[in-house]
Chains A and B, each alone.
Chain A
Amino acid sequence: MNAVSQLDQVKTGPWNGGRSPWSVEYGKIMMWFFLLSDAFTFSSLLIYYGAQRFSKLTWPAPDKVFQSIPGVMEHGAPLVFVGIMTFILIMSSVTMVLAVEAGHRRSKKEVIGWMIATIIGGFMFLGCQAIEWTHLHHDGFWWGHIPSAEELKHFFNKPEDVSLIASQQFANLFFTITGFHGFHVFSGVIINIIILIMTINGTFEKRGHYLMVEKVGLYWHFVDLVWVFVFTFFYLV
């Protein structure tokens, strides 16, 4: 054995990097650390939103802003549509864990089935979000745009509460934060599709394990996790 190949040798001692830290595979640890940094980004956005709400005397009432079920009723159904969206996302999280569980048993067929279900859930959520955005946009809210002071009275609890600055902050932050989250859902769906194709191709079968499914699973659950917070702070509080 020459000197060069000795350098190439993977060191195996625990203090030489030969052990995987915490017995977790490298890619999975990196996914966790990426998600931690992403959680910081989302926290910053949500904390800024919180600071804005704290600094304003009034704020658009969620029950009045979000009270339509597209195609069913225009008014008087607060939270129902977003409830459906939440259910879709939690459901797709469940199908994702089921895909991971099938991966542990190396059941290719079941992994394919559950991954397809997860991807469909992701597309359904994105569709709902598109409808939600369109609806709010038609009401007159957008980045840098709000309805007139007269129209805004419909979105506050009391007519004298109307605040143009609060409305504008609400619109900007709503579209930025749900947009950033929606972008994560979108990239999650794309990654899920890539993993689905790799599964169908038998890549993980040959590799002997379905760890990649677990890694995208972590990302997908994180997207669900962020939605739990967005849902609370935009729709409930």
Chain B
Amino acid sequence: MSEHSHTTEEHGHEEHAGLSKGKIWKVFGILLLITVIEFIIALVLIPKGIMTQHFGNYVYIVLTLLKAFYIVAYFMHLKYEKLGLQLALTVSFIFIIYFIVLMLTEGGFLNLHMMHH
């Protein structure tokens, strides 16, 4: 029976090597750089009128999602996990996307139709 005594415990640390130190600092550099870009937009580009607040908001959201990608993919190691786990964790957000569309449409409707009466 001894050959059957593998427990799931043992699979754990055979998975894969972690990130190298160099890669960790590279990701840190990218996150810092994106944050610095956000600050430049907020403190220079928008006040000087080079970028509108409206357009800036879209840029912020794109940069935020990019930061989220780097944190989840590298720091949380998801990039190196099996496809099944990656899909289970990301496809679920379809509900959140639906909820965002739903609630912002609702908010926009209230803005248009309730405030002017």
A: which residues have CB within 8 A of B?
A: 1, 9-10, 12, 18-26, 28-29, 32, 36, 39-40, 43-44, 47-48, 50-57, 63, 78-79, 83, 86-87, 90-91, 93-94, 96-98, 100-101, 103-104, 208-209, 211, 214, 217-218, 221-222, 224-225, 228-229, 232, 236-237
Instruction: Verify B13–A221 contact, CB threshold 8 A.
Output: no
Instruction: Verify A25–B24 contact, CB threshold 8 A.
Output: no
Instruction: Verify A50–B100 contact, CB threshold 8 A.
Output: yes
Known: A54-B107, A211-B13, A221-B76. A24 touches B100 (CB 8 A): no
Instruction: Verify A51–B12 contact, CB threshold 8 A.
Output: no
Residues of B within 8 A of A26 (CB): 8
21 A-B pairs within 8 Å (CB atoms) are namely A9-B4, A12-B4, A12-B6, A22-B82, A23-B11, A25-B12, A26-B8, A29-B85, A36-B89, A36-B92, A47-B96, A53-B107, A79-B42, A79-B43, A91-B28, A97-B19, A101-B18, A101-B21, A225-B71, A232-B38, A236-B57
Closest 6 CB pairs of A and B: A54-B107, A25-B12, A55-B110, A51-B107, A22-B82, A51-B103
Known: A101-B19, A224-B71, A228-B68. A86 touches B4 (CB 8 A): no
Instruction: Verify B99–A43 contact, CB threshold 8 A.
Output: yes
Cβ of B50 within 8 Å of any chain A Cβ, yes or no, is no
Task: Say which residue of A23, A29, A237 sits within 8 Å of B57 (CB atoms).
Answer: A237
- Taken together as a complex, chains A and B put the C-alpha atoms of A86 and B56 apart, in Å, by 20
Known: A21-B84, A93-B71, A94-B25. A237 touches B18 (CB 8 A): no
Task: Say which residue of B12, B19, B110 sits within 8 Å of A209 (CB atoms).
Answer: B12
Residues of B within 8 A of A229 (CB): 64, 68
Residues of B within 8 A of A12 (CB): 4, 6
Known: A56-B111, A225-B71, A232-B64. A47 touches B11 (CB 8 A): no
- Taken together as a complex, chains A and B put the C-alpha atoms of A50 and B77 apart, in Å, by 30
Task: Say which residue of B7, B42, B92 sits within 8 Å of A236 (CB atoms).
Answer: B42
Instruction: Verify B19–A40 contact, CB threshold 8 A.
Output: no
Task: Say which residue of A25, A50, A79 sits within 8 Å of B8 (CB atoms).
Answer: A25
Residues of B within 8 A of A19 (CB): 8, 11
Instruction: Verify B24–A98 contact, CB threshold 8 A.
Output: yes
Instruction: Verify A25–B9 contact, CB threshold 8 A.
Output: yes
Residues of A within 8 A of B95 (CB): 40
Residues of B within 8 A of A79 (CB): 39, 42-43
- Taken together as a complex, chains A and B put the C-alpha atoms of A97 and B71 apart, in Å, by 10
Query: Shortest Cβ distance from B101 into chain A, in angstroms?
Result: 10
- Taken together as a complex, chains A and B put the C-alpha atoms of A208 and B6 apart, in Å, by 15
Closest residue on chain B to residue A218 by CB atoms: B76
